[in-house]
Structure 1
């Protein structure tokens, strides 16, 4: 452990004050809030009331699109299970076991590790080191992509792993087919989660919500084509889910390189992203542990449901939840 002085030092020293990137609603409302709090002529109660209204409005503008994006991403996963359910009870149980029993493991780990970007990008933005946001984004993507390699091995070996855990052979075989189609999604997580935190650190949340909503429509259409028209079954449903995540990623990245709001925070690819990898791993591992403990309990519940007397019925019920 470092000394007390080392622990209190900021991760990133502040840069000389410079013009901020193009201001959005958050910056404008922050100025209004500061003006209200520093106005000596306002009565105290009125000052508190106005400041509270501004703060609530600011939080809503930031939180609402983020919540919407989260719900859309979860509904894409839910809709995939719905399409799988139209194939039969076994397919629905397999999709539930694959999605909530195996895929949730990778989701919790990757999202937890990606949360370190929120800490680093937030401090870099506050310290006016805008160019470091792009560096942290690339560094996180590298680390999460490398993490995705052993996770892919787990996905490939999902059938013997599930059988070893006591899942019925027929169910494990069907779940493995679904899981194989989710392998590209692992690396989608490796890119998407850092991009999300990169944008959120700059209070840019509405574009992600619009992109997610648009992608949902594409996802539903492609799922319908894959399952009903082309007869691709479970592997088709899961491949469409993976593809939908990559559509979101491409759209978000195009926004980053084209938007004037990211002009100072994204300056292109840099070799500096390959330095400080181990420090980032240590920070991201701590973030991952906290989030994994919150998400993996449901994964254990799903795996236990597969051990019941009628696993298809139990897993079908959990799929609806």
Structure 2
């Protein structure tokens, strides 16, 4: 038998590559840990920087008075629930499509998938913009204070341009993330954050826009980041294979994309909405000011430390989708086991820190001793929820990498809305546990969610998942010469 020519292996179609059974020899735990840390570190930084944009805006607005801060805070929360969470969820379909196409070396398809996602997200942003334009009427209709609703409505209208930028930005980030190009994203987010501080100061205090300037600054910052990443994709040698120009193929197979994108959005939104609902329910408890304040502090704390497992989640979705697309099911399985071990370690460390600072953390937000003591009681509960949330986060990342978004949507629906929220209401309002009861309800949901996703993961036939990935990539592939 003739010796195989050099380079022949690289020309073989990855769509028909045989699964590698000797993964324990070729893939080791330590190299896998390094790969995931190399991905997760920058992604955690990116998430924290993007999260800081809203905090910076609200910090500036806070110096304008209580009404401005209340209106901006309510508009930000309303925007997250009705816009940003939905767009982020829809874009998560690219974790599957782009990740598996990249692993299968169908590089030109990444640009097609990204364009298709941008087209869909821009269309979805139009009705969302109409909702944002009517924020005041919606908030008044659900019983919010008219003055705060008026301020929130004004702030939301000035935020509308950021909605369209956010959708494009999510697609660009997924396009780069699934190729493991993460450091340019981190640099772009850092530049944007620094510029955002200056833009906020100018627009809020120097331009005469007042609190509306914070909303305009958000739009400017999002579009600035879109411009940076778009220029990188256009001119970077790293993207020459994956970005081959605009293609009419982006308008084909829209329904196939939506079959994953809609469950992705449901999966993300159901979880995010449950936390927002918890804060709203706290306003119905006795002493609502104390309960709402403490739950808001707890939620902000949980959201900040959640960025660490979120980075791991993005890393594992990339690793799993790349390996399945490349026909390496055992490598994908090893990646999942490694990230679970890392998440347990991170969760235990973060939990220990939160419990250690429980008696002083409240002073960072308030001088009210009652608030400080209540926060001290809540932080161990927050630590427990963060540990579970980290596990579900990486398991959900694995689900996105495999294309299990529909399964994830059903798991989240049952966990939060059939178990978690009813348990929280029972504990808070029937058994009179208060705000702690609402958070314990979320913990119940997380336990169910983790158990379900873990059982599904442990029972996974990885060879079959690799075959599914091969079929998915093959069905969506268009000839490279047509992508122009």
Q: Is the 1:144–1:190 Cα contact (8 Å) retained in structure 2? A: yes
Q: Is the 1:219–1:241 Cα contact (8 Å) retained in structure 2? A: yes
Cα distance between partner residues in 2 of 1:248 and 1:294: 27
Give the deviation of 1:307 after TM superposition.
7.5
TM-score normalised by structure 1 residue count: 0.81
Match of 1:143 among 117, 120, 127: 120
Give the deviation of 1:52 after TM superposition.
2.3
Is 1:61 equivalent to 2:38 in the alignment?
yes
Equivalent residue number for residue 253 of structure 2: 276
Cα distance between partner residues in 2 of 1:280 and 1:182: 28
Cα distance between partner residues in 1 of 2:180 and 2:32: 14
Match of 1:93 among 33, 45, 70: 70
Match of 1:172 among 132, 149, 173: 149
Equivalent residue number for residue 296 of structure 1: 273
Cα distance between partner residues in 2 of 1:160 and 1:307: 22
Is 1:265 equivalent to 2:242 in the alignment?
yes
Is 1:192 equivalent to 2:180 in the alignment?
no
Cα distance between partner residues in 1 of 2:116 and 2:134: 28
Distance 1:91 1:208, change over 3 A: same
Cα distance between partner residues in 1 of 2:291 and 2:150: 17
Q: Is the 1:100–1:298 Cα contact (8 Å) retained in structure 2? A: no
Q: Is the 1:177–1:234 Cα contact (8 Å) retained in structure 2? A: no
Q: Is the 1:121–1:198 Cα contact (8 Å) retained in structure 2? A: yes
Q: Is the 2:99–2:178 Cα contact (8 Å) retained in structure 1? A: yes
Map of 1:63-78 to 2, 5 A cutoff? 63-78=40-55
Cα distance between partner residues in 1 of 2:34 and 2:136: 49
Worse-matched range after superposition: 272-281 or 293-302: 293-302
Match of 1:134 among 106, 111, 115: 111
Equivalent residue number for residue 43 of structure 1: none
Cα distance between partner residues in 2 of 1:316 and 1:213: 30
Equivalent residue number for residue 213 of structure 2: 236
Cα distance between partner residues in 2 of 1:315 and 1:93: 13
Q: Is the 1:97–1:315 Cα contact (8 Å) retained in structure 2? A: no
Q: Is the 1:105–1:299 Cα contact (8 Å) retained in structure 2? A: no
Q: Is the 2:107–2:242 Cα contact (8 Å) retained in structure 1? A: yes
Higher relative contact order (CA 8 A, sep 6+): 1
Q: Is the 2:81–2:269 Cα contact (8 Å) retained in structure 1? A: no
Give the deviation of 1:317 after TM superposition.
7.0
Distance 1:18 1:85, change over 3 A: farther
Equivalent residue number for residue 25 of structure 2: 37
Listed as ranges, the gaps of 5+ residues in structure 1 are 1-15, 20-33, 39-47
TM-score normalised by structure 2 residue count: 0.55
Distance 1:215 1:86, change over 3 A: same
Distance 1:55 1:234, change over 3 A: same
Equivalent residue number for residue 222 of structure 1: 199
Give the deviation of 1:101 after TM superposition.
2.8
Equivalent residue number for residue 19 of structure 2: none
Equivalent residue number for residue 29 of structure 1: none
Equivalent residue number for residue 133 of structure 2: 156
Cα distance between partner residues in 2 of 1:79 and 1:68: 16
Give the deviation of 1:302 after TM superposition.
4.8
Cα distance between partner residues in 2 of 1:221 and 1:214: 11
Cα distance between partner residues in 2 of 1:314 and 1:218: 36
Cα distance between partner residues in 1 of 2:57 and 2:159: 11
Equivalent residue number for residue 112 of structure 1: 89
Q: Is the 1:222–1:240 Cα contact (8 Å) retained in structure 2? A: yes
Distance 1:183 1:313, change over 3 A: farther
Cα distance between partner residues in 1 of 2:261 and 2:155: 29
Equivalent residue number for residue 255 of structure 1: 232
Cα distance between partner residues in 2 of 1:230 and 1:310: 40
Q: Deviations over 1:166-218 (max 9, x none)?
A: 00111100011111111111111220111111111100001000110011010
Q: Is the 1:105–1:296 Cα contact (8 Å) retained in structure 2? A: no
Q: Secondary structure at the match of 1:167?
A: coil
